[in-house]
Structure 1
Amino acid sequence: MTSTADGSIPSLRRGQIIDSAIELIAEVGHARTSLSRIAEKAGVSKAAVLYHFTNKDELLDEVLNRVIGGLVEQVESAVHAAGTPAEAVSAYIRAMIGHLTAHPAHVRAITEALAIAELAGHQTIRADASRWKVLAELLAAGQAAGQLRDFDVKTTAVVIGGAIDGLVGQWLAEPDFDLRVAADELETLVQRAITI
């Protein structure tokens, strides 16, 4: 059971329901994930699910908060531990790919949620600045310190993010795809492209 800030039974139960929803979305997809199925997987009643979440959309929002929050936390920690701006960019790539590889159910939950958002008319979610802004800021800081060459930071950040998405997507489609080797290649390509 997932630990929570206050450790209370309701908070623990809420975390258990979110974890079960993540696993179920990864296993069968969003469309086939009902509140009843989530309740069954979590070992609780549907009423218990409805006590914590008014509907499936609210639960999906919490699923996204959980999976994206965990990813952001790990990436930020890796970036802050890096020395130079170039090392921070490598740490970003490694942390993103490492976290997504370690949590394939989270990747599938994110993918499903983004697809649902696009179907609901939120096509701008994939182009959201938060998807590239942190990396662009790292790149700009490296340029300002004179450690990275001159290039358009937004374009470069979007390209790196797209490459990470592509590699993880290939790994999901082809489990034998060696994501660690692919991460090495991406890191090498990026370092050659950004360093002086």
Structure 2
Amino acid sequence: MGSSCERRRSGGDDGTVPSPDLASRTFTENARRAQIITAAITTVNEIGYHRASLSEIAVRAGVAKSAIVYYFGARDRLLLSVVDQVFTDLGQEVAQVILAETNPVTQLKAYLRAYLNYVGSHRAEVTAGIEIVVAHRTEDGTPLYLTGTEEDSRIIRDILAGGMDAGVFRQMPLSVAVSIVEAVLDVGVTEVQRDRSVDLTPFVDETVAFVLQGLRVERRDT
């Protein structure tokens, strides 16, 4: 599926509309939207994507169904807003953390830890977001998780490319390296989906060690 922290965003050619200008919303509007998004996350986690109707979400939000229609227009737009919020927040947190690092190895360590730490501290949000990504299809029938582009994985792509260029990561096709790292991170997400109370601490440590070992340059004696 690929765990790029940017990949999951929902705006674009899949029939969705990019988020409106936040500055144009009042405090009350933002609060109500946040309330409804939180209720949508709860609903998806409790009864699943396919049963998460506007009526079910409205019950959990404590608002009328018409209020959800007013703020989001339709069920798909609401659920895709969940995806957009969760993975935009994740991407911003990871990007902020790696700013303090100056070389590809420490950047990669920071990326992996920040990603999994976010998953661990936002379990409900991430599990709901992933379920929507897996279940939702665009207007042409393409699963949402297959709509990513290279730009969607830019952060990890740049780190890995920089490490290969500097000779600290072994050479391989960049797309392969990106896919492997994302697949390893997906395992951490799956652990949280399987058991919301799982302790991710040892998983974080072993993920960092595993990925770095896989990318380590083999030194040959001459």
Q: TM range, normalised to the smaller chain?
A: 0.7 to 0.9
Pair 1:162 & 2:183 matched = yes
Task: Give the conservation status (yes or no) of the 8 Å contact 1:85–1:138.
Answer: yes
Measured in 2, the distance between the counterparts of 1:179 and 1:69 equals 22
Gaps of 5+ in 2: 1-21, 218-222
Which of 11-20 and 170-179 deviates more? 170-179
Q: Provide the residue aligned with 2:158 in structure 1.
A: 137
Residue deviations 1:3-47 (CA, integer Å, cap 9, x gap): x75552122211211121112212221122221222222222212
Segments of 5+ residues of structure 1 without an aligned counterpart are: none
Q: Does 1:152 align with 2:173?
A: yes
Aligned to 1:85: 104
Output one character per residue of 1:89-144: Cα deviation in whole Å (capped at 9) or x when no partner.
11111111111111111222222212222597213733623554421211111222
1:114 and 1:126 in contact (8 A); partners too: no
- TM norm structure 2: 0.77
CA distance in 1, matches of 2:26, 2:187: 38
Aligned counterparts, 1:1-196, within 5 A: 7-118=26-137, 121-123=141-143, 125-126=145-146, 128-130=148-150, 132-175=153-196, 177-196=198-217
Asked whether the 8 Å contact 2:134–2:143 carries over to 1, the reply is no
The total of aligned residue pairs comes to 193
User: How far did 1:48 drift?
Assistant: 1.2
CA distance in 1, matches of 2:46, 2:209: 34
The structure richer in helix per residue is: 1
State the distance in 2 between where 1:18 and 1:171 align.
Answer: 20
Superposed displacement of residue 177, structure 1: 4.8
Say which is worse superposed, 110-119 or 16-25, in terms of deviation. 110-119
Q: Which amino acid is 1:78 matched to?
A: V
Distance, in Å, in 2 between the alignment partners of 1:129 and 1:104 is 25
Over aligned residues, Cα RMSD in angstroms?
2.3
Task: Specify the code of the residue in structure 2 equivalent to 1:77.
Answer: Q
Alpha carbons of structure 1 residues 41 and 194: separation in structure 2 relative to 1, 3 Å:
same
Q: Which has the higher contact order (CA 8 A, sep 6+)?
A: 2
